[in-house]
């Protein structure tokens, strides 16, 4: 269905969303040129998608490099009849990046970013007080192979993606890098882009008390240095991928990196990370149906290096990329 007859997006709307996933700050003119469409049509459709909240563009800071935060996966079990309330309480925490209610062993899975010196307080004192929480397991992330800003759902051609990313690829998130020092104007710009990733350089300059040209240079620096990413937050179902699953993968130690790097070649994979714990990889996949999930998890291509795969369906996403789902589609991050 189309703009805006609900429930899904038509072909052009999906292509516009896919273009925003490549570069959330791309001008409508650039997107129209890359897609071979009329600028007026693309601008009208794109503005409607943003105004309706069907896609949200948010600047996502590399928190490991800006505030020295480190990522941790939380897997929670909840008391009967409290899952949604407990998951909502986790989702509303500013440290939390995503929160999903899932099937399987964990009722709720979340990712949070926390400075190392605050982690023990958070895990031992704060999170155990979450209403309805019965058990909380934690799995530190040791490496990202792909995060959602890298996701390309197979809607655009390679040529169209290249036309939208002509500045070259951004640096990937490296958890080993030292935190960067940002001046006051840069921090103001980061906070403003978290709230609205499509704010103009003129607006950013006015908010930060610098010229438009300086604001542009600062945004370019933040992006090229891998300090700030732009994400198009959209429900995968709107792109024709209504089945979402978290796959917990056990792999031989010497094959973890190879499996992780091979996984992210698939357009089905939105996110892949190495974790410390009984599983070595956590992978978020989106698919057109459950048959495709069966094919993905039972593929012969896994080979002997993958010892097991446990797939849990995402049945209720409460937060994605620090943006609350549903009517509260506002980025939630106050640590810059």
pLDDT in tens, 26-40: 999 999 999 999 999
Q: How many helices (H) and strands (E) does the chain have?
A: 12, 11
Domains belonging to the chain, first-starting first, are 11-62+157-233 (1.10.10), 67-145 (3.30.70.920), 236-313 (3.30.70.920)
Angstrom distance (rounded) from CA 67 to CA 114: 9
Whether the pLDDT of residue 193 is over 90: the answer is yes
- Is the peptide bond preceding residue 133 cis, with omega within 30 degrees of 0? no
Whether the pLDDT of residue 17 is over 60: the answer is yes
* pLDDT band at residue 293 using 50, 70 and 90 as cut-offs: very high
Mean of the pLDDT values across residues 185-198?
94
Mean of the pLDDT values across residues 153-163?
94
Half-sphere exposure of 17 (CA within 13 A, CB side): 29
CB atoms within 10 A of CB 283: 26
259, 251 in Cβ contact below 8 A? yes
How does pLDDT run across 71-103, given as a tens digit for each residue?
999 999 999 999 999 999 999 999 999 999 999
Which string of DSSP letters, residue by residue, matches 282-317? EEEEEESSHHHHHHHHT-GGG-TTEEEEEEEEEEEE
Which string of DSSP letters, residue by residue, matches 190-248? HHHHHH-TT--HHHHHHHHTS-HHHHHHHHHHHHHTTSEEEEEE--GGGGT--EEEEEE
Angstrom distance (rounded) from CA 170 to CA 326: 30
Angstrom distance (rounded) from CA 236 to CA 321: 13
Angstrom distance (rounded) from CA 305 to CA 14: 36
């Amino acid at each position: 269905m189309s703009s805006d007859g609900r429930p899904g997006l038509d072909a052009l709307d999906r292509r516009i969303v896919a273009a925003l996933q490549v570069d959330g700050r791309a001008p409508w003119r650039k997107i129209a040129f890359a897609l071979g469409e009329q600028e007026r049509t693309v601008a009208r459709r794109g503005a409607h998608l943003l105004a309706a909240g069907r896609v949200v563009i948010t600047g996502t800071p590399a928190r490991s490099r800006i505030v020295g935060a480190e990522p941790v996966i939380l897997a929670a079990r909840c008391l009967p009849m409290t899952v949604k309330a407990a998951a909502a309480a986790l989702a509303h925490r500013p440290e939390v990046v995503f929160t999903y209610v899932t099937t399987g062993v964990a009722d709720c899975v979340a990712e949070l970013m926390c400075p190392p010196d605050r982690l023990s307080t958070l895990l031992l004192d704060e999170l155990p007080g979450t209403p309805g929480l019965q058990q909380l397991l934690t799995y530190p992330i040791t490496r990202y192979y792909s995060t959602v800003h890298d996701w390309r759902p197979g809607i655009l051609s390679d040529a169209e993606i290249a036309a939208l990313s002509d500045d070259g690829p951004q640096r990937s998130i490296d958890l080993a890098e030292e935190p960067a020092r940002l001046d006051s104007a840069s921090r103001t710009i980061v906070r403003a882009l978290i709230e609205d990733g499509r704010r103009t350089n003129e607006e950013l300059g006015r908010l930060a008390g610098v010229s438009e040209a300086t604001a542009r240079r600062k945004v370019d620096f933040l992006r090229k240095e891998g300090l700030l990413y732009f994400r198009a937050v959209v429900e995968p179902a709107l792109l024709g991928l209504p089945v979402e699953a978290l796959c917990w993968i056990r792999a031989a130690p010497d094959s973890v990196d190879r499996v992780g790097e091979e996984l992210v070649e698939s357009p089905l994979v939105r996110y892949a990370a190495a974790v410390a714990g009984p599983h070595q990889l956590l992978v978020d996949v989106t698919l057109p149906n459950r048959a495709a999930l069966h094919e993905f998890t039972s593929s012969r291509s896994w080979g002997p290096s993958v010892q097991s795969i446990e797939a849990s369906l995402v049945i209720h996403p409460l937060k994605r990329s620090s943006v609350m789902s549903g009517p509260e589609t506002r980025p939630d991050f106050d640590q810059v």
